Every structure is written in C-alpha cells, then in structure tokens.
Structure 1
Amino acid sequence: MKDSTRFPLWLTSILVAVLALSRSGLASIDDYERWYAVELGGNRVGWMHQKQSTVGDLITTSSRMEFAFNRDQAGAKISVSGSFVETKSGKPVSMSSMLKFGRQPTSLQATFGENEIEVIVTQSGRTERSTRPLPDGTWLTPAAASEFVKQRMHAGADSITVRTMSALAGMDPMSALKPTTVERSGRTDTDYEVAGKKVKATKWTTTSSASPSTKATEVVDEAGLPLATDTSMGMMKMVMRIVNEEEAKAEFAAPEIMVETFITPDKPIANPRKTKKATYLLHVAEGEVPAIPATGSQRVSPVDASSVRVVVDTRSLSPAPEGDATNPLFLACPINVNCNDPEIRNLLTKAIEKAADNPAARAEAIRAFVYRHIHKKDLDVGFASASEVARTRQGDCSEHGVLTAALLRANAIPSRVVAGVVYADQFAGGKDIFAYHMWTQALLDVDGKPTWVDLDATLPPNIPYDATHIALATASLGEDDTQESLASIVLVMGRLKISVESAE
C-alpha cells in the first residue's frame, strides 16, 4: 500500500502538545515581550511569541506560534494565534483566536457581556454568530491569574492551582470559551541561563484540565513567566526555550518526523486489505499501556500492566454501550465537523443519491463518495475541518475521516472518528509497518442493536475496512473530548510494540 492519504495522525497528535505550549505561561501584571524557540525531538520545528501591553485601563495579552514539519517530503505548517483583553481589575472584555491547521484558517471573536458571551466564528468564508453563557464558577482572566500565581510563588507555595481562560485552549476554537484548571506542583528553586546570565528561577510540573495526561516541566522566572517548557510526547519531547527574536525567527530545515513513528511488527501480514480477522499483542516497554478501546469490531483483554491482547474481527461485531445511541455529541455539528454547513448538505445529496434507503447503505455510500470527492490525496494538509475539505477536495486520512463523520451526521447517522494504527506493506520508505491513522465509525443497527461500524474512506469503494486497523482512541470531535483523546496517542508514540499473533 503506497497511498499518501494515510498516516498523518502523528501530526494531529502533535497539535495537542502545540496547544499545551500555549497554556504553559500566564500573563503578567507587568508588560513584556518574549520570543521562544521550539524543538521537537532535538530538532527545530518553530517559534512562539508572547506579548502583553497596557493602554489605559485595558491589558492585552497575545500569543502566536508557527511550526513546520516534513512528512515523506511533503511540508506541513501550523499557525495559531490569539489575544485576550481585560481590565486592570480583572474583568474580561474580549478574546480572539486564529487556528490554521489546514489551508484555511478558522477565527473566533468573543465579546464578554454582563451575563453572556457574543461569539463570531469565521471558517471557509462562512460566518456564524451565537451567544454563550458566562462560565460557571470562579475563574481569573490571564493577567489576574498571573498575579495570583506570582503572589503564591512569593509566599513559598509548593503547589499552585488556578482556573483561567486561554485564547488557545483546544483544536476547536470554541473550547477557549471554557476555563481550564492549571496545576503546578513539585516546586524546585533553581537558576536558568538567559543570554549568558544566570537568573533565579523556579521549576514546576504543570498539567492542565484540557489535557490532563500531558505533563510539562516548566521553568519560570520570578514573575512567573516561562523561561523553558519541556513537554513529554512519547518517544520525543517538545521543548520551548527563551531566545531573542532573531534566533526565534531564524531559518531552519523542517525535520522529517513521521517515519520515526512507524511501528515494525514481529512479522509481516500477507494480503492486509483482505484480512478479516487478526489477533495482536500490544506492549509498551516502560510504564503501563494506556486504555485501549473496545469497539464494534475490536475486543480487548489485559495481559499484564504493560500489555493487552487485541482481536479485530470485521465479521463479528459487538453492540455499542447503551449510552452511545442517545449521546448528543455523536450528532452534534461543532466547527471541525459542521454538518449544518450548506456545502456539506449539498455533498450529502450527491453522496446518497443512488443509495438504498437504509442507514447502512447510506453510510457505505458516504464512505465511497468521500474517497472519490477528495481527489488530491496528499500529506500537505495538517488537520483541516470538514467544511474546508468539502471545498478544497484535498487531504489525507484525517480529512477523509472528518468529512465522512460530518456527512454521516448530516444524514442523522451518529458518528465519531477513530485514532489508531493501520498496517502497510510499503510506505514512505517503510516496509511491513504499522503507521498512525484516522478513520470513521458510524452507529448503525446490527442485528437489532446499535453498533459502531468502521468506515475507512481512504480505502477504495470495494474495501470499506480490514482487520489490520487497531483502534487506540475514539473522539466525537466536539469541544471537550478531541484534545484529550488524541493526547493518549501522543503518550504511546515511540513506545508501542505490536506482535501479530494471527491474521486471516
């Protein structure tokens, strides 16, 4: 299999760590401007700029990050930026963000009122307006949160917890409207070298409620502003360190990272696209294996703390948990899978025009349609939304996955995406390997029971799925669950080993 539509999931997972970096530092009560170099696995991948300015009674904090990667000689760029405006007394005024994971950016403008938030989202040339209630509970604006952290640091606190809001809080910009809880623990006083001079600093272990499984080691100065952040990403670490503007924006060769995430099993699989049932042993060399989901076609049984046995059987499906059939998330139309988009509705009409009048037939018709509709199958796109893919007709497995999910929901069929690995006999210089992948599941009636049915739109019309797909996580692509779901993939990258016990 040589199709370039596969294997970008490693890049999607990296977005989790990228957005974690955006939350690593809070604002400050004093104005500042700082530049950072960002490295992944020891290679330069980009830069971050943070700035705060005060005009009259208003404090504006802003962040911008630019990243570049190569994957099998195809370049991928990620750009995210955001700002938050508040009064000196800590009252929120407005917030904006721009996320560019694909070809087209998605922007958010939020204005805070006394009881609600007015929101404007622009994506693929379309603008949608809505209102949201103010967040429940107590939370602090960025500068107010920073002052609280600074006071707790100076008081000698060994742990600090603050609930605040960040303009860059998740892969769905609407998730920024929900405060996150940032916890710092394990305080260690230290020194850190900045421009050849040692400054007093404090080292912390930092986690965020937006991605609790992703931990960072953070070094901050006496004002609580970051000097360096080290985020673990399975086999690699993403490191941010303070530099000057010239060094931050200096040219660098975008690294090739995707190939390093390939997994070579103990033995090859013959005829992978025709494999109907397979048994695998999944193992991590250090620590515990994360929770592996059971799905319609996948059964999981623990072996020990570091190993699980996975059986994938495409001909014998298990019913979904009872709550899935009534879970509104699987029919929702968030930004990444906007099933209310008129272009999505237009494509749905074409997709099911000749399909039999039952959900299973329409689901397969949608899968086959997406395969045909995305005619530029390449790795040049990071993580585009369904609305963007509908118009550009370009992308890899994540674009196939989100467009399929959106079309299913537009047809009132519950859907979700699956993050995992798939076997390839040949790809990007790798031979007989598993590589990270994304596909879709539709909740369909099988033998009278709601069941998650796998649909891989990167495969041609006569091959809906095969048993060389191993699911590692599922996500509704809503505001709350996508980032944490993909974070679990980050943790196993470079650590996961696969033994093929049988394949037929």
Structure 2
Amino acid sequence: MRRLLLAVLLASPLLAGAAPPAHQWFTVLLDGRKIGTFESKREAHGNQVVTMQRLDLVLDRAGTQVTLGSAETSTETRDGKPLSFRSVSQLSGSQTVVEGTLRGGTLHLVTRNGGQAQKRSLPWPKGALLPEGVRLAGVRAGLAAGTQYKALAFQPSSLDTAELTSIVGAREDVDLPGGRRALNPVEQTLAFPGTPMKSRAWVDADQTVYKLAMPVMGVELVLLACDRACATAPNQGSDVFERTLVTSPRALASTELAGTMRYTLASRDTGKPLALPDTDEQHVERRGDEFLVTVRREAEARGESAPDKDDYLPNDWLQSKSPELVKLARHAAGANRDPLAQMQRVETFVRGFIRNKSLGVGYASALEVVRKPEGDCTEHAVLVAALGRALGIATRVVDGLAYAPGFAGKEQVFVPHAWAQAWIDGRWRSFDAALSGFDAGHIALSVGDGDPWRFYAGLDMLGRIELRRAEAVTP
C-alpha cells in the first residue's frame, strides 16, 4: 500500500502542472499530520524550461517506518514542447530510474532497476504534455470562474498518459502557513483508466499552485506552500496502514475459506462507487449501494480474457529473462512440465526462499528479491509472477484484501495484500506465497503487471470499503 500513496502524489495535478517561482517548498499533511516534504524548481535556459520536483515521505506501517521518495526533472521548450525527462523513485531500499528522450515522435527509454538497464522505444502519445506544457494550457484558458479546459498529461514515473480536466472556481481567500492569499480553486480530474482521481488546487494567475487537496483512504491529503523551515520540519508520522484494514463482521473458519464465500461490500462514503474486477475466481454483482462479491477457492473458466503477449514477457518489475531468475525458476519447478504443478512448486519455493518477512521493504522488483530475499506480500507476488513467466507461463499480479484472524493488534480483519495469478487450463488461477496459499478469504481490487504505479485503483478503494456481511456458500 505504501508505494500507492506515492503514486497518487506523483500523478497529482500539482506535480503535473505547477510552474512555481524559481524555488518553492511545500509541507505534506495526511489527515492533518505532517508526513513529508515537497520541493519544486523551475529554470529557463534559452529556449528551454527545466522543471525539477522532489518528494520525500515517511509513513508508519504497523510499527515499521517506511521511507518513500521521488525526484523528477522534465525539459521542455518555452512553448511547452516535450524534450526529455528523468524520474527517480526510491521506495525504502528499492530504486527505479526512468530516463526518456523524445526524438521525431519516438520516446527512447532507459529504465534501471535491480542493477539492470533496459532500453526500449515507444511512440510518444499524440498531444501528451509535460509540466510546462500543462501549465501553459492553464494560462491560455485563464481563471474566469466556470472556465473548463483539458490537457493530456504524461506521467514519467509510470509512463502513462491521463486526460486532466480542470474547472475554475471563483477567487477566494486561502489560509497558508505564510499568511492568507487570494487564489482561484481549480477542480481537477485525472482520468486514470477506470478510476478517475479528483483533487482541488488553489492557484494564482500564473498557474502557480499554493495548495492541493485530495481524498486518500477516506482522509484528506493536503500540500501547502510554505518556507523551507516549515516544509522540512520534523514529520509527525501517520500509520496509514491501519486505515486500510477492513473489519470482518465475524470470524471466518478455515473450512469456509476452503470453499466459496459471498461478501457484501459497500463504500463508506457517498463518492464514486467501488470498482471491483470480475475474475475466474471472483464474481461481482451490484445491488443498489451494495456489491455482492462471490469468491471461489478453485477457479472456474468464466470467460475472462485470455492473456496477451505482454503477460508472458519480462518488464521492469518482472525481469523473467534475467539469467538469475531463469536459473531459479528451473530450480523451483524441478522436473515438472505440467504448468499447474510448476506454479504450485514455485509458490512453495518462494514461501521458503524469502526468509526475512519484513514490512520495511518499499517495493522491490523480482530481481532485487532474488538478490536480497526479504519483504512482504508484494515481494512474494512479483517473484512468483516473474518465475512463472521465466517458465513460459503467463502471469499477472493482483492487489486486494486477505482475511487475517489477527494482525497488528487487530482481530478478524481483511488486510491489504498482493498475490499472483497464472493462466492455466484456460483460466486465471491464484497463487499466494506470502500466506499458506490462495483461498476464499481473498478479495481482488485490481489486476496488473507488477508495476507499482498500476495499483491506483486499489489505493482509491482502501479506506473506503465497508464489509457488511460474510457468508459461506454451500455447493
């Protein structure tokens, strides 16, 4: 979960479109408690504008402190044409560097993670903008109340584009640490696929942001412009993980979890409804303001889409062609050639291979886990998925909730969790190496390719889910 909060901040309109003075500082608050610092610079050199932004956070997770950081530098022409970018993400001991150069409509990329460098080229999305381009779109639109404009914002950290829709409100006085300012509120929606992210920014006539607020896990995340002393003051700490726990209405027996469970879920707030995936193990039905989620321990072929070629291939987080991973996959699978037996052996192998079960790892790639076998559910999930791909099996990574009789001093709760799925016998089957295996106590919130920036959909729902009923389904 901790890397998801960072993903939200990195994709926020502040970081996508701010044009601060030469140097600007922000304090980062979650539910009124200081959790970090944001620094932004903007420099003009000849016909080029360089925007530099750095974010540092410290979160508490069930008594373990987790540090997160990101630095992005974007280079554009004065009229907002993208030229290049560099993104460095630091999640505890894991670092990812993404460098991109735009030439002739083609984005040339170098990604460094886990000691490996991967090069590739992608077509630049038509009309996509970096920070200065997004800022100029706002300047052109102006700040007349009721003005609405759109821009296609490119996110270097995730290599995604998302349409940013902005609606300008009437000027109002805003209290800031340095005093009161008259600013225009701008309601903003960043259209992530299936899960739009809404926020409000308060800006001046140059589109300089002085305040940003957005809902996260049922509370408010706020960034406030202030001086350096204010922004870098000691953090107060916030156990965001506790906010994501979902209380079970009753204790669930192991015999029930070995079969089929039906959960009645609802959103704790009146905002946008939950968006839960239908899988070969999970069926979702909406009834009024509630969702009936039926989870089977054994997958059934329910017509879910077959894997595409990318589900078999390595990526920046599942480096399945790495010689180290290929060797480990063959060792884990042994002489088995049956895909189901191979994945079962991989699941058991990873459970024992990751010896240090630690909550302090930010988000390690599969290759990093091989070299340093420690971490929590996400490290188990990416390693299982990568080893599966190394064996020629299509895999993906699921973010969701898993039932725990007790966790971090709480009883009968569903906790944020991650596991892997593999395409076997015409269906997607789940494998959970972090626990004793997959069962009906798993509720999927989103499905992805192992990239931590793909999990915003799950983050948006954490903290908003209410579990009203849990019933065993008899055959």
TM-score, structure 2 as length reference: 0.92
Instruction: Identify the structure with the greater strand proportion.
Output: 2
> For residues 105 and 218 of structure 2, what CA distance do their matches in structure 1 show?
45
Q: Which residue of 2 aligns with 1:205?
A: 187
- 1:475 paired to 2:451: no
Q: Which residue of 2 aligns with 1:350?
A: 331
Q: Which residue of 1 aligns with 2:305?
A: 323
> 1:477 Cα deviation (Å)?
3.4
Equivalent of 2:142 in 153, 163, 186: 153
For the Cα contact (< 8 Å) 2:264–2:293, is it kept in 1?
yes
For the Cα contact (< 8 Å) 1:24–1:229, is it kept in 2?
no
Structure-to-structure mapping, 1:7-156, within 5 angstroms: 10-21=1-12, 23-28=14-19, 31-133=21-123, 135-154=124-143
> 1:107 Cα deviation (Å)?
0.7
> Residue 319 of structure 1 aligns to a residue in which SS?
coil
Q: Which residue of 2 aligns with 1:190?
A: 172
Deviations 1:109-163 (A, max 9, x none): 2222234333222212222223333x14224443233123112115666112112
> Residue 235 of structure 2 aligns to a residue in which SS?
coil
> 1:202 Cα deviation (Å)?
0.8
For the Cα contact (< 8 Å) 2:155–2:161, is it kept in 1?
yes
Letter in 2 for 1:501: E
Equivalent of 2:236 in 253, 262, 275: 253
> For residues 215 and 21 of structure 2, what CA distance do their matches in structure 1 show?
30
Query: For structure 1, which runs of at least 5 residues remain unmatched after alignment?
Result: 1-9
Give the stretch that moved more between structures: 203-212 or 78-87.
203-212
For the Cα contact (< 8 Å) 2:3–2:68, is it kept in 1?
no
> 1:34 Cα deviation (Å)?
0.8
Q: Which residue of 1 aligns with 2:222?
A: 239
> 1:330 Cα deviation (Å)?
1.8
Letter in 2 for 1:226: V
> For residues 472 and 154 of structure 2, what CA distance do their matches in structure 1 show?
49
Would the alpha carbon gap of residues 78 and 42 (structure 1) be closer, same or farther in structure 2, given more than 3 Å must change? Answer: same
Would the alpha carbon gap of residues 274 and 492 (structure 1) be closer, same or farther in structure 2, given more than 3 Å must change? Answer: closer
Deviations 1:268-296 (A, max 9, x none): 11337963332222222443642322222
Letter in 1 for 2:262: T
> For residues 93 and 446 of structure 2, what CA distance do their matches in structure 1 show?
26
Deviations 1:381-439 (A, max 9, x none): 12222222121111100111111111111212111112211111111101111111111
> For residues 409 and 348 of structure 2, what CA distance do their matches in structure 1 show?
28
- 1:263 paired to 2:246: yes
Would the alpha carbon gap of residues 238 and 202 (structure 1) be closer, same or farther in structure 2, given more than 3 Å must change? Answer: same
For the Cα contact (< 8 Å) 2:145–2:170, is it kept in 1?
no
Would the alpha carbon gap of residues 158 and 224 (structure 1) be closer, same or farther in structure 2, given more than 3 Å must change? Answer: same
> Residue 291 of structure 1 aligns to a residue in which SS?
coil
Give the stretch that moved more between structures: 425-434 or 12-21.
12-21
> Residue 337 of structure 2 aligns to a residue in which SS?
coil
Return the structure number with greater relative CO, CA threshold 8 A, min gap 6.
1
> Residue 336 of structure 1 aligns to a residue in which SS?
coil
> For residues 45 and 348 of structure 1, what CA distance do their matches in structure 2 show?
40
> For residues 468 and 95 of structure 2, what CA distance do their matches in structure 1 show?
37
> For residues 46 and 72 of structure 1, what CA distance do their matches in structure 2 show?
18
- 1:454 paired to 2:397: no
Letter in 1 for 2:433: A
Please tell me the root mean square deviation across aligned C-alpha atoms, in Å: 2.4
Q: Which residue of 2 aligns with 1:229?
A: 212
Would the alpha carbon gap of residues 201 and 125 (structure 1) be closer, same or farther in structure 2, given more than 3 Å must change? Answer: same
> For residues 139 and 500 of structure 1, what CA distance do their matches in structure 2 show?
45
Q: Which residue of 1 aligns with 2:151?
A: 162
For the Cα contact (< 8 Å) 1:24–1:218, is it kept in 2?
no
> For residues 130 and 106 of structure 2, what CA distance do their matches in structure 1 show?
16
Deviations 1:478-501 (A, max 9, x none): 6xxx64653244235244224222
Equivalent of 1:369 in 337, 343, 349: 349
> Residue 324 of structure 1 aligns to a residue in which SS?
coil
> For residues 262 and 161 of structure 2, what CA distance do their matches in structure 1 show?
42
Letter in 2 for 1:454: S
Would the alpha carbon gap of residues 43 and 269 (structure 1) be closer, same or farther in structure 2, given more than 3 Å must change? Answer: same
Would the alpha carbon gap of residues 218 and 503 (structure 1) be closer, same or farther in structure 2, given more than 3 Å must change? Answer: same
> Residue 94 of structure 2 aligns to a residue in which SS?
coil
Query: For structure 2, which runs of at least 5 residues remain unmatched after alignment?
Result: none
Count of equivalent residues: 472
Q: Which residue of 1 aligns with 2:397?
A: 417
For the Cα contact (< 8 Å) 1:16–1:487, is it kept in 2?
no
- 1:275 paired to 2:245: no
> For residues 357 and 438 of structure 2, what CA distance do their matches in structure 1 show?
18
Q: Which residue of 2 aligns with 1:181?
A: 163
- Over the matched positions of the two proteins, sequence identity in percent amounts to 23
Q: Which residue of 1 aligns with 2:290?
A: 307
> 1:194 Cα deviation (Å)?
4.1
Deviations 1:186-219 (A, max 9, x none): 5232122345443331101112234652111111
> 1:352 Cα deviation (Å)?
1.1
Q: Which residue of 2 aligns with 1:339?
A: 320
> For residues 322 and 12 of structure 2, what CA distance do their matches in structure 1 show?
31
> For residues 438 and 382 of structure 1, what CA distance do their matches in structure 2 show?
14
Would the alpha carbon gap of residues 196 and 121 (structure 1) be closer, same or farther in structure 2, given more than 3 Å must change? Answer: closer
- 1:493 paired to 2:463: yes
